[in-house]
Amino acid sequence: MTHIILRDLEIPNIKDLKVYMEHGGYEGLKKALKMAPADVIQMVKDSGLRGRGGAGFPTGVKWSFIPKDPGVKYIAVNADESEPGTFKDRQILENNPHQTLEGALIAAYAVQATAIYVYFRGEFWDVAHAFDQVIEDARKKGFIGTNILKSKWDCEVYTHLGAGAYICGEETALLESLEGKRGNPRIRPPFPALVGLYNKPTVINNVETLANVPFILYKGVEEYRKFGTSDSAGTKVFSVSGHVANPGNYEFPFGGETTFRHIIEAAGGVPSGLPVKAILPAGASGAILPATDELLDTPITYDSLKPWNSAVGSASVIILDESVDMVWAASKMIHFFAHESCGQCTPCREGTYWLSRLYERAEDGLLDEKDIIRMDSVASQMKGKCICALGDFAVNPVVATIKHFRADYDLALSPIPSPQPGITDLPASQDDLLEHLTIHRHESGNHHG
Ligand SMILES: Cc1cc2nc3c(=O)[nH]c(=O)nc-3n(C[C@H](O)[C@H](O)[C@H](O)COP(=O)(O)O)c2cc1C
Ligand code: SF4
């Protein structure tokens, strides 16, 4: 198929400005600059483009939330890419960087922003360094700076390196980090569209989302909508890893023939020849799903995984064959989230810590039945009670593996229950906890009434 995003697979050296321009590069920006900003927003709305960073929010709608007054506005490009198993933005930025830059400039013009900040994850220091040159090359052609292509619109572009924290990919933590503060997510409302970077209206978009925009402007909505489905327009880059022969980025249109079975085949199949046991459709933050025929053959769109309480997310597809113990897999995820929790809300900070301790018991061969109930209980007390989505992400692998792969937990049970102080003392469920507190209150004379 024709690639919209991974064009580097077809056009050698498209990362060079000259080659990019020979293949229609910056024509989308030129077209946008001849249009009214509101019409650019309408075009992106009509295209059906949805955010590729995880939540799938309609991009044009997001842009339309920015106030139309003449005040200062910003664009933040989310190049933090820290989701385990996601490595698409890196390929785009390394091999086709002008396309994201052009998309960011079109976004900036559409909302009349005068500065773009590209936030790279700390480990992408080499990519960020190369991107500085990309910016300078674009500036020489008049695409960045003052009175861009004689449009009377000015825009600057800055790069910024994070320090290696997963949470800084969360959009409000990213803004805090850009402002030089600790990357703690903000409580919403207010939303960044009204109170964003330095308290100014800000659009935050993922690298891949923005890389779609030049095509939409240059080729038009109709051409774009030839890819994908009515509610999931365009193509998606799937980062495929785990038990496949050829891990890598694969771009497919949403829906139609794009199923997990198709993706696994495209990535060379499972090297061991064992059946696929589980699929992680969205890296560590989504559920771990059993690889039933129904799941394997479902055309992938933003909404098609809802029956499994799952979503496409950033499309980091991790394939696990029959050799994998799902308690071990969930344990890996929970240790990751416990490490990456920013710690500002109690359910997430304490919940990930306790889940981590409980999975350590499994690793040490000490797991007992009550630990599994405790895992479920801690998870249910975290869900929906945190400032940002990391708290919910952390719960997903736990709940999903207990639900779908209970046999693996049963296998992990210790033959001889061996209590460990501090954990087995904990009531197993919320009801047990209430009972425990009531008894304790009576025993201690209920001094506080
Ligand atoms: C814990 C956490 C980590 C995230 N990490 C990323 C990330 O690395 N890259 C990204 O684009 N979005 C990430 N997101 C989603 C962003 O908050 C935001 O929704 C996204 O950048 C919006 O861009 P889009 O509308 O173009 O998808 C993360 C969200 C959460 C809750
Ligand atoms: S949910 Fe976790 S990561 Fe998100 S703000 Fe709360 S403590 Fe921080």
Ligand 2: nearest atom to the Cα of 388: 4
| Complete edge-to-edge strand list for the sheet that includes strand 156-161 | 156-161, 115-120, 74-79, 202-206
Instruction: Give 203 Cα–ligand 2 centroid separation in angstroms.
Output: 22
Q: Out of 3.30.2290.10, 3.40.710.10, 3.40.50.11540, 3.40.50.620, select the CATH number for domain 7-224.
A: 3.40.50.11540
Nearest to 203 by CA among 356, 72, 94: 72
Average pLDDT, rounded, for the chain: 93
The yes-or-no verdict on residue 433 having pLDDT over 90 is no
The yes-or-no verdict on residue 15 having pLDDT over 90 is yes
Which amino acids bring their CB within 6 angstroms of ligand 2? 167, 185, 341-345, 348-349, 386-388, 390-391
CB 211 within 8 A of CB 103: yes
pLDDT of 415 reads 76
The residue-averaged pLDDT of 247-273 equals: 97
The DSSP string of 325-336 is: -HHHHHHHHHHH
Which amino acids bring their CB within 6 angstroms of ligand 1? 51-55, 57, 78, 80-83, 167, 169-171, 204-206, 209, 388-390
Assess whether the previous peptide bond of 189 is cis (omega < 30° from 0). Answer: yes
pLDDT of 435 reads 63
Nearest to 84 by CA among 288, 245, 317, 243: 317
Q: Which of 170, 232, 395 to mutate to test the pocket of ligand 1 (most atoms within 8 A of CB)?
A: 170
Alpha carbons 68 and 378: distance in angstroms, whole number: 45
User: Are both 7-224 and 235-321 of the same fold?
Assistant: no
pLDDT of 428 reads 67
Closest residue to atom 25 of ligand 1, CA basis = 51
Alpha carbons 324 and 347: distance in angstroms, whole number: 29
Cβ-proximal residues to 140 (8 Å cutoff; 6+ apart), any chain: none
Ligand 1: nearest atom to the Cα of 174: 17
Q: What is the DSSP letter of 185?
A: P
Cβ-proximal residues to 187 (8 Å cutoff; 6+ apart), any chain: 387
Confidence of residue 155 (pLDDT cuts 50, 70, 90): very high
Six-digit token string for 31: 């077209």
CB 147 within 8 A of CB 155: no
Residue with tokens 């990362």: 15
Confidence of residue 321 (pLDDT cuts 50, 70, 90): very high
pLDDT of 2 reads 73
The yes-or-no verdict on residue 96 having pLDDT over 70 is yes
Confidence of residue 436 (pLDDT cuts 50, 70, 90): low
Closest residue to atom 30 of ligand 1, CA basis = 170
Domain boundaries, the chain: 7-224, 235-321, 326-438
Closest residue to atom 8 of ligand 1, CA basis = 81
Confidence of residue 34 (pLDDT cuts 50, 70, 90): very high
Alpha carbons 333 and 340: distance in angstroms, whole number: 11
Percent of residues, the chain, with pLDDT higher than 70: 92
What is the domain class of 235-321 according to CATH? alpha beta
Ligand with the closest atom to the CA of 284: 1
Amino acid, res. 318: I
Assess whether the previous peptide bond of 67 is cis (omega < 30° from 0). Answer: no
Cβ-proximal residues to 271 (8 Å cutoff; 6+ apart), any chain: 243, 244, 245
CB 282 within 8 A of CB 312: yes
Instruction: Give 382 Cα–ligand 2 centroid separation in angstroms.
Output: 10
pLDDT of 102 reads 98
The fold adopted by the segment(s) 326-438 is de novo design (two linked rop proteins) (1.20.1440)
Look at strands 235-242 and 276-280 and give their pairing. unpaired
pLDDT of 37 reads 98
Cβ-proximal residues to 331 (8 Å cutoff; 6+ apart), any chain: 359, 360, 362, 363
The mean-pLDDT minimum among 267-271, 301-305, 330-334, 411-415 falls in 411-415
pLDDT of 447 reads 37
The mean-pLDDT minimum among 73-77, 154-158, 429-433 falls in 429-433
pLDDT of 440 reads 46
pLDDT of 446 reads 38
Six-digit token string for 237: 């880059």
Positive or negative, the CA dihedral 13, 125, 239, 108 is: negative
Instruction: Give 321 Cα–ligand 1 centroid separation in angstroms.
Output: 28
Six-digit token string for 236: 């998606």
Alpha carbons 300 and 281: distance in angstroms, whole number: 10
User: In DSSP terms, which residues pair with 378 in a beta bridge?
Assistant: none
Helix ranges (H only) for 68-96 are 88-95
User: In DSSP terms, which residues pair with 290 in a beta bridge?
Assistant: 278
- What is the per-residue pLDDT across 364-394, written as a single tens digit (0 to 9) for each? 999 999 999 999 999 999 999 999 999 999 9
The residue-averaged pLDDT of 409-425 equals: 70
Alpha carbons 395 and 147: distance in angstroms, whole number: 49
CB 142 within 8 A of CB 33: no
The residue-averaged pLDDT of 230-251 equals: 98
Alpha carbons 234 and 252: distance in angstroms, whole number: 9
pLDDT of 429 reads 66
